[in-house]
Chain A
Amino acid sequence: MEGRFPNRTLPYALVLPSIAIVAIFLILPSLQALYLSFFEVSPFGNRRIFVGLGNFREILTSDSYRSSLRLSLVFAVAVVVLSMSVSLGMAVLASKPLRGIGFYRTLLLWPYALSPAVAGIVWALLFEPSSGLMTYLLRLTTGLSPNWMMNANYALLVIILAAAWKMLGFNIVFFLAGLQNIPDEMVEAAQMDGASRRQTFWRVIFPILSPMTFFLFIMNSLYAFFEVFGLIDVMTQGGPGGGTEVLIYKLYLDGFISIRWGYASAQSIVLFILVSALTLLQFRYAGRRVFYA
């Protein structure tokens, strides 16, 4: 039996600081948001009108919220699929014994080390419609000169690429760790049994990697929903014409630019419910397919 604490109060005292921090910075503001979501609040907070579920009704019936939700789903799926598949491929390559592999591995990590703002500026400069390098190359090779300040689909594509790229480093590190933990004997045994390289990968390596893949799936989904604010703020500010206004950015615009506290609070509650549901579903269904060796 593990050692027990000599008295009953000490363990509580030890976790108290963590609980206090969670309560002050997470639970209390959440409760406040829940409370505010039933009101219309004036910008200076000096007047509030109780509207019951009015804000929620507005969310559910508003076209702009619906299109933002649709956009967020497309965005999240695209980012997760793109980022995870590319990084798995790159991790497999980076796990091969190559000359100077340490150097490549370090380089692969770089995108993750950049702050979202810096990454956003780099991508914004690359695709700048008048003087960007990528714009120039596109014009040279295809004759097209897409303007992402005017074309919402193109803007979304650029944001997806940037967001997926930003997550590469993180994913590669975890995939690489997973790959390196696979015992050589298992791969050798598969080869002895006459499995092709493709079969070895999909039937042996991929299933053993599945806990890591599942973990990354959750992390990437959360990233695509919550952590892309910086990129979008630096690159498109939700434009053009709301073309990149994903839920988290819409929340910021309504709350901090339009200063509609009540409406924004209601949005944060809805977002919270959405993401909880999504995570639960993932654990329920995707979690079953995970093979814990």
Chain B
Amino acid sequence: MSGRWKLLGAVLVTVLMAAGPAAAQVKIKLWHAMGGARYEAITKDIAEGFNKSHPNYVIEPLFSGSYAETVTKGIAAIRAGDPPHILQVYEVGTQTMLDSGAFIPVTEVVKPGEIKWEDYFAPIMNYYTVGGKLSSMPFNSSTAILYYNKDAFKKAGLDPEKPPATYKDVEEMGRKILASGAARGVITFGWPAWMFEQAFAYHNQLYANNENGRKGRATQILFNGPFGVEVLTRWKKWADEKLLMYGGREYAPNKAFLSGEVAMLLQSTSQVTTIEKAAKFPVGTGFLPHLEGKPQGKSVIGGASLWVLKGKGRSPQELDAIAKFFKYIGQPEQSAKWHQDTGYFPATHASEKLLRDEGWFKKNPNHETAFKQIQAGPDTPATRGVLLGNFVQIRNLTDSALEKTFSGKLSPQATLDEATQEVNKVLEEYNRLQK
């Protein structure tokens, strides 16, 4: 009898010992919106890499759909009281998150000195620093650039090493491309409303009042002023001349570019790796085209940052795991690898140096274009990026307005006036709820 008890005791002890280290593992849920090549990069390189080097901590990444869907799911989870530890929110959701009261600022999660913030690139820090405070962890930062099909340029008798620099270039080169039959369309846009925002920053124009919503909450959108109308009138002209072949929102237009139907694409730099891999022709990249006679600004940061959500409270171990994870993704090797896998910016000067020492940019000039573009131009309120409450809906309204113009339903001025009215109402409702 006693022998049996001893045996049972021994088994129990073994089980407990085996379970011990497992129970000590801290699991951190990370909800993200990284599809395509980025999915592999975030699950394999980043999460698995971190988990291997930190045996007590486990990052559990979960793909939650598009950016907008991820935000919605995050909000639903916050309301239900059981949010993930880390939520990836695209730049558009920044103001909404800031007003949520549902997060722990990254500067409280990470101890002072643990991450060298001064080594992060200024445009990235400038975007996510609001009122002098950094609230979320910068993670995947991109901007918009021009992609073009070098074969189509050659066929049209153009220099395949010279992308268009101005709107006029787009038109003149475009007409040659159409006339030669090198492609059926000249240019298409990913994320149309974002391209509209980019046009404002790129020419140093404010998109919303209160310094783009950075001095106080924005109450009015400014895109129906003369500048916005001029840009959209130009785009509409492209559509009428069949230069612009509108291809839908987000990443949908990539298809028209990759199939060779359209010779140029304005798209996020996060697609460099994906596009280079998928294209059956040599891909060139260049700066966004400039609108003649307008001041020089700078293209603006897009992408997403990581927010630490409070939930019902986080244990010191959980906070330590998150801090270690944030430190890990900022390490030069990780940040450089992430850049190579996707096209997002290497976040720090150290990671850029690592890439230069490897000769990466010489071999992959398309990966450097955005980098050069984001560093050329002044740092002004107009180039730091717009902050708007309920920006998700505002993007939707703007996309809709652009589509209405392209399809010829309304004139650029009329569309933008209508959209301005709608957007201002959204801002008013949002601000009313935040007082």
Contacts and interface: CB of A to CB of B under 8 A. Distances in A.
Contact of A129 (B78, B256, B429): B256
Contacts of A64: 422
Contacts of B432: 40, 49
Interface string B395-433: 010011111101101000000000000100010010011
A150 B259 contact: no
Interface in B250-284: 252, 255-256, 259, 261-262
Contact of A259 (B72, B99, B400): B72
B79 interface: yes
B404 A257 contact: no
Specify which of B239, B247, B262 lies most central, judged by the most chain A CB atoms within 10 Å of its CB. Answer: B247
9 contacts: A42-B99, A131-B259, A152-B403, A239-B248, A241-B400, A241-B409, A242-B400, A254-B393, A258-B390
A130 B96 CA distance: 37
Given A150-B407, A152-B409, A258-B390, 12 more contacts: A40-B433, A47-B433, A129-B245, A130-B247, A130-B262, A239-B403, A240-B407, A241-B401, A243-B407, A257-B392, A257-B396, A258-B426
Contacts of B102: 44
A45 B184 CA distance: 49
A260 interface: yes
A256 interface: yes
Contacts of A258: 390, 392-393, 396, 426
Given A131-B259, A149-B252, A257 B101 contact: no
Interface string A151-170: 11000000000000000000
A239 B252 CA distance: 13
A7 interface: no
A43 B404 contact: no
When A and B form their complex, which 4 residue pairs have the shortest distance between CB atoms, in order from nearest? A258-B393, A241-B403, A241-B404, A240-B403
A36 B303 CA distance: 33
B247 A129 contact: yes
Contact of A130 (B239, B256, B407): B256
Contacts of A129: 245, 247, 256
Contact of A45 (B79, B96, B239, B404): B79
The bracket for how many chain B residues form the interface is 35 or more
Contact of A241 (B247, B255, B262, B407): B407
Interface centre among A131, A237, A243, A258 (most CB of B within 10 A): A258
Nearest to B79: A45
Contact of B72 (A46, A47, A257): A257
B31 to A, nearest CB: 16
B54 interface: no
A241 B402 CA distance: 7
A286 B135 CA distance: 61
Interface string A243-282: 1000000000110111110000000000000000000000
A239 B399 contact: yes
Given A239-B248, A257-B72, A259-B75, A130 B259 contact: yes
Contacts of B75: 43-44, 259
B287 to A, nearest CB: 25
B246 A240 contact: yes
B166 interface: no
B100 interface: yes
A85 interface: no
B401 A149 contact: no
A47 B434 contact: yes
B247 A257 contact: no
Contact of B255 (A43, A128, A151): A128
A147 interface: yes
Contacts of A43: 75, 96, 100, 390
Nearest to B262: A130
A257 B246 CA distance: 23
Contacts of B78: 44
Given A152-B407, A258-B393, A239 B400 contact: yes
A44 B309 CA distance: 13
A145 interface: yes
Nearest to B433: A42
Nearest to A236: B248
Nearest to A41: B433
Contacts of B400: 239, 241-242
B246 A147 contact: yes
Nearest to B102: A44
Contacts of B249: 237, 239
Contacts of A40: 429, 432-433
B353 to A, nearest CB: 41
B390 A151 contact: no
Interface in A148-192: 149-152
Contacts of A131: 255-256, 259, 261
A256 B403 contact: no
Given A49-B432, A241-B403, A241-B407, A147 B390 contact: no
B291 interface: no
